[in-house]
Amino acid sequence: MKKLNRKGFTLIELLAVIVILAIVMVVTIPSVINAMNGARSGQLKNAADSVAEWLTKNYELSQYSASLGTGTTDKQYSDFMNGKSWSTTASLDIASVLEAAGVSDASKNISTAYAKLGSNNKICVTLTAGSDGSFYVNGATNKATSAGCSEVAAPTTTNP
């Protein structure tokens, strides 16, 4: 009888490799998903901080320019404030104000944005992630508030 030259893996060896890979996947996938969700939440928080910094900078510039008689604020801020005051919560125009503050493609990523002048002339911002945007985390609150502020409630009027 002729001896067969067997080269390759047995079925048992292949099944063992598949089982080991399945165990590795079961362990790593949840941690990767948690890391991705943490990154999205962090991005939303950074966006809220960026918007608050931009609004605070322009608010302070508008206060200084009013006392000096010059106009030095960004056009988007001037358009946003057009007849408004910071006495109540303001709903932010997502398309212009957020993008001017450096939040990329905000109209698709953020569903609501509110700002209010807080203590020490600091503007507090609350952003809510849109369900179809890159900031959205399934099963989370999907809200972020700028540093040093409590959550800003939705405005009671459309033109504060």
Is residue 53 pLDDT above 80, yes or no? yes
Q: Cα–Cα distances in Å, from 54 out to 8, 30, 33, 35, 119?
A: 64, 36, 32, 28, 17
Q: The tokens 């002339």 sit on which residue?
A: 121
Whether the model clears a pTM of 0.85, i.e. scores above it, the answer is no
CB atoms within 10 A of CB 59: 19
Instruction: Please give the pLDDT value at position 1.
Output: 59
Instruction: Please give the pLDDT value at position 19.
Output: 97
Q: How confident is the model over 65-109, as pLDDT tens digits?
A: 777 776 666 777 777 777 677 766 777 766 677 778 877 766 567
Q: Which distant-in-sequence residues (6+ apart) come within 8 Å of 99 by Cβ?
A: 105, 106, 107
